[in-house]
Amino acid sequence: MRTGTANLPLHYGKTPPWLFEKMVKLSREICILIVQEFGPYEFLKKISSPFWFQSFGAILGFDWHSSGLTTTVCGAIKESLKEIDKELGIFVAGGKGKTSRKTPDEIERKAKFIDVLPNGLVYASKMSAKVDSSAVQDGYQLYHHVFFFTKKGEWTVVQQGMNTEIRYARRYHWLSSPALDFVCEPHSGISAQKIENTVLNMVDKKSEENRIISTELSKQKPEKIIKEIKKLKGLELPRRHNILIQDINPDRLYKIFISTYEHQPENFASLLGMKGVGPKTIRALSLVSELLYGAEVSFDDPARFSYAHGGKDGHPYPVDRGNYQRTIEILEKAIRKTKIGKLPSMLL
């Protein structure tokens, strides 16, 4: 499930070549050590934690508060593992901009080295991006998507969106699990420096009825849906509803609703995954469902303030002593191994 997001100042520019080269080398050794010590899935769990990921970037020498940490760290890991992924059992696909759109093809190319069919992995890649761009409309445009996966088909996603108006980037983390529901509470822990006031959150539990009604609406004849949307645009609506509907052009959605009518999606996940169904389609259906049919929708930002161990003054929450102790034990174990010269050597 998605384990967190982080808001970071939006920075431009490139990493110095000498630094990136060192980041690749160091990340390679750290990744090898983690997989040997804890296994491939534990590596995914660590990558899926926004705070571990942030700390990892700091260890590699990157600016801790920069949006570039996400793209550069993911790029360094991908480069460092490309020659040893088959032996290590960790594969990396995707990247920034145009490279992110090549993720499904990159997953397919690695299919012969994994124990499962790639279809599920491709679906997970596409749906995680669709959810964070269309089902959670928080004002951040996705531009970076990296997909990590194991031979067994376990996976995690690190993707980032930008809001150029406020100059922040928000990073989203996902982690696979048997209980994962892509469209209902996929978050296990989300943190952010900035909580947005108006977010259309279709994956909130409170939005369940709205998801059902939105799906049913999408199966109706396009003319009926367009008529209802035009009614909404003529109403005096609460401020947040006006913000969400002001840039919707009903006539431009007509072709999309022809497609949903013809395909008759069986559930909200099917609707969300359809080609051409984007933020404005979901927003229009959601608003019609709420304002005309009374199906509640959540406007709560799924991001939450959170820190690694808490704070001594109880803000944002008291120190988690158990988690703190586990961190100490892991570090002590690593230090003991270093002192006695028993750090494992792998794939030298």
pLDDT tens per residue across span 259-283: 999 999 999 999 999 999 999 999 9
- In this prediction, the residues of the chain whose per-residue pLDDT falls under 50 are 305-313, 315-317, 340-348
Residue 12 is predicted with a pLDDT of: 62
Residue 190 is predicted with a pLDDT of: 59
DSSP letter, residue 304: B
**What is the separation of C-alpha 190 from the centre of its chain, rounded to a whole number of angstroms?**
10
Residue 346 is predicted with a pLDDT of: 45
Is the four-CA dihedral 230, 232, 233, 236 of positive or negative sign?
Answer: positive
Q: How far apart, in whole angstroms, are the C-alpha atoms of residue 24 and residue 60? A: 9
Residue 314 is predicted with a pLDDT of: 52
The ranges assigned to domains in the chain are 4-194, 205-293
Q: What DSSP assignment string belongs to 113-164?
A: GSSS-THHHHHHHHHHHHIIIIIEESS-EEEEEEEEEETTS-EEEEEEEEET
What the block records as the tokens of 148 is 């990590």
Number of Cβ within a 10 Å radius of residue 99:
17
Residue 328 is predicted with a pLDDT of: 61
Q: Which of 96, 6, 81, 71 is nearest to 44 (CA)?
A: 81
User: Model confidence over 84-142: pLDDT tens digits?
Assistant: 999 999 999 999 999 999 999 999 999 999 999 999 999 999 999 999 999 999 999 99
Residue 279 is predicted with a pLDDT of: 96
DSSP letter, residue 187: B
Query: What separation in angstroms does the CA of 305 have from each of 6, 47, 299?
Result: 9, 19, 17
Q: Which residue has the tokens 């035009």?
A: 230
What the block records as the tokens of 57 is 């970037």
Is the pTM higher than 0.75? The answer reads yes
Residue 106 is predicted with a pLDDT of: 98
Residue 184 is predicted with a pLDDT of: 92
Residue 233 is predicted with a pLDDT of: 84
